[in-house]
A and B are shown apart, each in its own frame.
Chain A
Amino acid sequence: MTAVDDRPATPAEAPRRRPNPLLALLRNSWRQLTSMRTALVLLFLLAIAAIPGSVLPQRGVNPEDVRDFYTANPDLAPVLDRIGAFEAFSSVWFSAIYLLLFTSLIGCITPRLRDHVRALRARPPAVPKRLERLPQHAVVPAPEGGAAAVAETLRRRRWRVAVHGDEVSAEKGYLKETGNLIFHSSMVLVLVGVALGSWYGWHGNRLLVAGADQVFCNTRQQYAEARLGPRVGDNLPRFCMQLDEFDARFLETGQPAFYNAKVTVDEDGGAPRAEEFSVNSPLRLDGANVYLLGHGYAPVIRYTDRFGRSQTSAVPFLSTGDIGLTSEGLAAFPDANVDPETGERNPDLQMAFDGLYLPTAPQDPPFDRSEYPTERNPLLGLIAYRGNLGLDGGIPGSVYQLDQRQVRNGRLTEIGARELRTGESWTLDDGTTVEFLGTRPFITLSVRHDPGMTLLLVSSIGLVLGLMGSLFVRRRRVFVRLLPTAPGDPDGGSPTGGSSLVEVAGLPRTEHPGFAAEFAQLVAAIGGRSGDAGTDPDAPARAREGAE
């Protein structure tokens, strides 16, 4: 009824005279750790330990949510942070559980692997004395050819066969244990793959605006956000990339339907070449994959200062998250109004424009929300600021947001607001002008390298195949004994030995509900009047006749 666990418990050491208590303790702990029960408890703990990671915001998934959580729960958050709750899946407690589980796993599969290899090499065991005690049992007329014929029949059905004189034992379904071991070993390999990826892998995210002046080359500094594994050197694979064209299509509802980016890639040592990639089909370069995650608009804004010098900004505006792609951003000109003669910078005459871009502005005000993600009626709302942008203070400011502290302490003053359509310009109070020249698309990129990926893929395949073998294959044995011929027929086993019999017994070694049926067919094949064995659909019925 239940799985027959044929693995002898951890081989008992020869009893010693003076058992070292420490060693005994160690051995006992190891035995405990590698027991199925412990594995079960650890599995359960692992499931529970994964829950906080889905309930609490995670830095790896969404750092802003963690920041919000801090604001909302100023007392609780630091405590949670100390126990690693915002990085639950790399926390000490989570790691401890899975490392223990995998130790247990290795401790569990190693002896089983050894036993299984031994079992694969060994011949099926000798035929037990009392076959009628086994779950399946039948007596049928012996086939012509005796034990050899029986063995042949079994072999043809892909049983492993051992002939011991007048007895044949056979076993089938080794694939079950093989599958089980492949499955469990693959799990270890998955972990190795993950570890490889986190040691030797790296990734970085950035925005890339279209245009030749915005080429991006793969160095650490070029990423807004990057993570390099501890074993990654400084030399990221060298390539440069320029966004030539971006194509996004939307449904009438504004829902995105399709994104595609056309780029020119210049890999180290190669000629520049055109490539394209889209969501679901990343650009696979040598040593790095480039994924397209999102897109937006970078308004091109030209400011002409008091000295008549113009500067242009094409900084990405970030989506506020609505379906119409309303975007916010900042065009900052810290070098504005520098006297070209003296080169002297007047820190109170820096300029910045806080912007709200609507690809499809409504017909009437308020102009605060775009109606559609493509540029059907583009409108750029700007608020102009003059003063000290606070960029020299050593505190790194965001390129996407105005430093509000400077506004609050009066060093930066608002000097007016205005909506501009493409091509329009606005003359400020000091005679300087700002123009909205149009937009360029930008894309959000994630560039990654994960050397563990191949191993992950291979071990995942092993996981599934092993599991199937383990769950669907059944291990079973059959034993056959040629019975001593009845008295009066001294030539038992001869071609004409009508009364010689063969005793067949079967033992499912793991749960195998269909075993009776299989056994019946087998018996029919063995006892069959040679020739048609194994293909006779009426086999069970015939076998029964034979038994009577």
Chain B
Amino acid sequence: MSALSDQLVSIATLVYLLAMISHAVEYALGNSRARAVAAPSRELVGAAVGAVSTGAVDGPAVEGGAAGGRGSAGDQAAGSLAVGRTLAGGSVAAGDTLAADRTSGGAVVNTSPPGRAERTARRAELGGRIAVGLTAVAAALHLAALVTRGLAADRMPWGNMYEFVLTVSFIGVAAWLTVLVKWPFLRRLGLFLTLVMVLLVATAELVLYTPIVPLVPALNSYWFVVHVSTIVFASGLFLLGVVPAAAYLMRAGYENGKRSFPYTLAKRLPAAAGLERLTFVLHAFSFPIFTFAVIAGAIWAEAAWGRPWGWDPKETWAFISWVVYAGYLHARATPSVRRNTATWLAILGFLTVLMNLFGVNIFFEGLHSYGGL
């Protein structure tokens, strides 16, 4: 069972890699198409994003709501799908302002005569769909690897850094697929996501690999499940959140006329405002979970070590992450702070999460020394 799990991890890594390549193909083809076809549809989305009100003024406002959630197939192909009412459990609504583009919905359906550009576009589309399919397959393998590992160890597979990174990255990809179901037009972000996945899973496999061992007594508690599952879940969402955050920064630069290297990648990305909003939604959703997870950790630490908080390196870095993410939410709510600055804070937050995942286990020694390295 344990060997099976290891093999599944290897295969999943490969499939993530393939998915990444397919995304790259879509990118390449999409960019050539962009040269052929003027006024790419997503630019329209960009114009419409955040303009619910403009749409509402000239037609009955109700229509906006009606269009929400329905979006015809044509809409979706044009990348202007509007509304998902709720994300992951319905607590955060990230609705139609994400890309509320009712007016352009019909207009952007490609009506140009079939030609080379059209064929390339269709191939790009195909590449993208294949990429998403491969990501889903990889995610399934990834899950299977976790399940077999858990079965082999006869416990939740969160006992050491290897298992932890595998679980966090799985949450990230699962949340990504959920987001995709709601907002298919975000598909192009998959290039970044699969890149992150390949890096994380390969690092886990090559650097962090640990054979299965049971838990040390301090971990033997139901708080283990409560604390670790929520930490893993929140970290996975933060991981996913960094994808639109980075995409936003590139896209915003692109929309401001920057045409140098990283910005050109953003040519075919969804509009910046929508990406920014998605970044916020993901972080706003995971921040309370993360807060809860840290508190659960403190409650457990009280029972196991006699103090709820002792500034152990892991605790310290969780504190730092928490403060940085609180800073992000604050910055976003402060009108005088630019959205770019706020988004950098979100990325910084994820770096601190990574520091906790990898750095603390490798560089420091503390009570949380379960890394297995």
Which A residues are closer than 8 A to B by beta carbons? 1-3, 5, 36-37, 39-40, 43-44, 46-47, 50-51, 53-55, 58, 60-62, 88-89, 132, 134-139, 203, 251, 253, 255-259, 278-282, 289, 291, 293, 446, 448, 450, 453, 456-457, 460, 463-464, 467-468, 471-472, 474, 506, 511-521, 523-524, 540-541, 543-544, 547-548
- Answer whether A518 and B330 are a contact pair too, CB < 8 Å, given A50-B316, A456-B308, A513-B95: no
One of A203, A281, A520 near B66 (C-beta < 8 A): A520
Q: In the complex, A478 Cα to B313 Cα: how many Å?
A: 50
B317, chain A: closest CB distance, angstroms: 6
- Answer whether A518 and B53 are a contact pair too, CB < 8 Å, given A2-B335, A256-B217, A293-B305: no
Contact in complex: B50, A1 (CB < 8 Å): yes
B10, chain A: closest CB distance, angstroms: 26
Q: Which residues of B contact A40 (CB under 8 A)?
A: 327, 330-331, 334, 337
Q: In the complex, A114 Cα to B300 Cα: how many Å?
A: 37
Q: Which residues of B contact A446 (CB under 8 A)?
A: 305-306
Contact in complex: A3, B333 (CB < 8 Å): yes
The closest CB in chain A to the CB of B100 belongs to A516
Q: Does B256 contact A (CB under 8 A)?
A: no
Q: Which residues of A contact B358 (CB under 8 A)?
A: none
Contact in complex: B311, A58 (CB < 8 Å): yes
Contact flags B286-304 to A (C-beta < 8 A → 1, else 0):
0110011001001110111
B240, chain A: closest CB distance, angstroms: 17
Contact in complex: B323, A43 (CB < 8 Å): yes
Contact flags B67-93 to A (C-beta < 8 A → 1, else 0):
011000000000000010110000111
Which B residues are closer than 8 A to A by beta carbons? 50, 52-53, 56-57, 60-66, 68-69, 83, 85-86, 91-98, 100, 213-214, 216-218, 220-221, 223, 273, 277, 280, 284-285, 287-288, 291-292, 295, 298-300, 302-308, 310-313, 316-317, 319-320, 323-324, 326-327, 329-331, 333-337, 352, 360, 364-366
Q: In the complex, A289 Cα to B331 Cα: how many Å?
A: 41
Q: Which residues of B contact A516 (CB under 8 A)?
A: 52, 56, 61, 64-65, 68, 95-96, 100
Contact in complex: B56, A137 (CB < 8 Å): yes
Contact in complex: A464, B295 (CB < 8 Å): yes
Contact in complex: A519, B65 (CB < 8 Å): yes
Contact in complex: B323, A50 (CB < 8 Å): yes
One of B61, B304, B333 near A136 (C-beta < 8 A): B61
B351, chain A: closest CB distance, angstroms: 11
Q: Which residues of A contact B337 (CB under 8 A)?
A: 37, 40
Contact in complex: B217, A518 (CB < 8 Å): no
Q: In the complex, A40 Cα to B273 Cα: how many Å?
A: 23
Q: Which residues of A contact B300 (CB under 8 A)?
A: 280
Q: Which residues of A contact B94 (CB under 8 A)?
A: 513-514
Q: Which residues of A contact B316 (CB under 8 A)?
A: 50-51, 53-54
B294, chain A: closest CB distance, angstroms: 9
Q: In the complex, A203 Cα to B308 Cα: how many Å?
A: 13
Contact in complex: A512, B298 (CB < 8 Å): no
Contact in complex: B295, A43 (CB < 8 Å): no
Contact in complex: B308, A541 (CB < 8 Å): no
Q: Which residues of B contact A47 (CB under 8 A)?
A: 320, 323-324, 327, 352
Contact in complex: A513, B98 (CB < 8 Å): yes
Contact in complex: A468, B288 (CB < 8 Å): yes
Q: Which residues of B contact A255 (CB under 8 A)?
A: 213-214, 216
Among A255, A278, A280, the most chain B Cβ lie within 10 Å of the Cβ of A280
Given pairs A2-B333, A50-B323, A136-B52, 8 additional interface contacts (CB within 8 A): A39-B330, A58-B311, A60-B310, A280-B223, A446-B305, A472-B284, A517-B65, A544-B62
Q: Which residues of B contact A467 (CB under 8 A)?
A: 287-288, 291
Q: Which residues of A contact B95 (CB under 8 A)?
A: 512-517
- Answer whether A289 and B306 are a contact pair too, CB < 8 Å, given A137-B56, A257-B217, A467-B291: yes
Q: In the complex, A289 Cα to B301 Cα: how many Å?
A: 13
Q: Which residues of B contact A523 (CB under 8 A)?
A: 61-62
Contact in complex: B85, A36 (CB < 8 Å): no
Contact in complex: A61, B311 (CB < 8 Å): yes
The closest CB in chain B to the CB of A513 belongs to B95
B220, chain A: closest CB distance, angstroms: 7
B4, chain A: closest CB distance, angstroms: 22
A116, chain B: closest CB distance, angstroms: 16
Contact in complex: A89, B311 (CB < 8 Å): yes
Q: In the complex, A13 Cα to B96 Cα: how many Å?
A: 42
Contact in complex: B306, A514 (CB < 8 Å): no
